[in-house]
């Protein structure tokens, strides 16, 4: 039966279990690993009915739902230096190190065109995690009509403190979803999705340092935003707890986790050779785990 799913035929209408979900964490440039995995899925016509991603995972999710093989790879591995969003010139010009207009305005409309029509007509539910600055809580936003709003939600999901300005949507202020829900498998489980495939960008056993200095920096820089500060300070503890639970669910066979087994790149990696290697590792991993994942999805 596996051979049927391994064919190159486009299988958007393949009989995927109705309650199957794809969950993707972020990680900045480490998202290129996820891009490799998803290119394998798209090449083999494997599309989940529900997709939820945060930050870089949200970016990957958009391209996956649109069926654009290679687009995430090309936007993570930007070979033309003039197109890169990370820039010390931008820090001097705006006070922020990232020019978020490049990935969320110039890329989709000009440099790496995004297929809005396929995305909106896919029939796939695609949610992106954002953090509400006033509450410090995660919200799970989706859009399948307004092109600009699709991009603005993804921008909000990817906007880190210090690195880029707050995003205003529907009168609310948002930043990176990873500040409040870094691995949103809990969201898919609460919605009733029984089969969850989770793509991580860190190796097995990774845990955040609970004594990170980032929390104190946020406390100083965002002292007028107590809910945001609280989320940032608690993030390492919450993230590590999410991993503890996820690894238990994995051992019990209740989730299927795909993660790197080789050294990761850094969140801000721009070296194209390093990014190419990590993308290829993601692609190879996708091939290696594909049959086992299909068996998990089709099991009772």
Alpha-carbon distance of 12 to 97, in angstroms, equals 39
Active site residue 85: no
Q: How far is CA 76 from the centre of its chain?
A: 12
Contact 141, 127 (CB under 8 A): yes
Q: Which of 29, 39, 55, 99 is catalytic?
A: 55
The neighbour count for residue 117, using CB atoms within 10 Å, is: 10
- Which among 266, 258, 264, 240 is positioned nearest to 296, based on CA atoms? 258
Alpha-carbon distance of 117 to 79, in angstroms, equals 27
Active site residue 276: no
The helix, strand and coil proportions of the chain, stated in percent and rounded to the nearest 5, come to 50, 15, 40
Q: If you search the block for the tokens 């880029």, which residue do you land on?
A: 164
Alpha-carbon distance of 49 to 20, in angstroms, equals 7
Pair of tokens at residue 141: 């936003």
Alpha-carbon distance of 275 to 266, in angstroms, equals 10
Q: Which of 39, 63, 176, 181 is catalytic?
A: 176
The neighbour count for residue 89, using CB atoms within 10 Å, is: 9
DSSP 86: B
Alpha-carbon distance of 64 to 118, in angstroms, equals 10
Name the helix (H) or strand (E) containing 234: helix 226-251
- Using CB atoms within 10 Å of the CB of residue 173, give its burial: 0 to 12 exposed, 13 to 18 middle, 19+ buried: middle
Q: What angle do CA 6, 11, 16 make, to 5 degrees?
A: 90
Catalytic residue ranges? 55, 176
């Amino acid at each position: 039966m596996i051979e049927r799913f391994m064919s190159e035929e486009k299988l958007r209408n393949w009989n995927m279990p109705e309650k199957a979900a794809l969950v993707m964490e972020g990680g900045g440039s480490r998202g290129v690993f996820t891009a490799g995995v998803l290119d394998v899925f798209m090449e083999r016509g494997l599309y989940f009915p529900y997709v939820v991603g945060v930050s870089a995972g949200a970016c990957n999710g958009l391209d996956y739902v649109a069926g654009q093989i290679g687009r995430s790879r090309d936007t993570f591995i930007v070979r033309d230096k003039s197109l890169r969003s990370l820039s010390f010139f931008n820090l001097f010009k705006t006070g922020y190190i990232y020019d978020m207009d490049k990935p969320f305005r110039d890329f989709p409309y000009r440099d790496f065109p995004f297929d809005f029509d396929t995305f909106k007509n896919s029939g796939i539910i695609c949610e992106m995690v954002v953090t509400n600055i006033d509450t410090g809580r995660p919200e799970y936003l989706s859009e399948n009509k307004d092109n600009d709003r699709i991009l603005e939600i993804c921008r909000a999901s990817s906007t880190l403190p210090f690195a880029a300005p707050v995003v205003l949507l529907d009168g609310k202020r948002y930043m990176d979803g990873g500040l409040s829900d870094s691995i949103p498998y809990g969201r898919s489980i609460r919605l009733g999705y029984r089969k969850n495939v989770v793509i991580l960008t860190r190796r097995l056993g990774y845990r955040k340092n609970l004594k990170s200095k980032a929390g104190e920096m946020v406390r100083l820089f965002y002292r007028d935003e107590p809910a945001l500060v609280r989320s940032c300070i608690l993030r390492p503890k919450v993230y590590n707890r999410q991993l503890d639970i996820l690894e238990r669910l994995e051992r019990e066979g209740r989730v299927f986790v795909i993660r790197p087994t080789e050294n990761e790149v850094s969140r801000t990696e721009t070296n194209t050779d390093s990014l190419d290697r990590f993308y290829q590792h993601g692609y190879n991993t996708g091939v290696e785990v594909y049959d086992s994942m299909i068996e998990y999805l089709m099991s009772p």
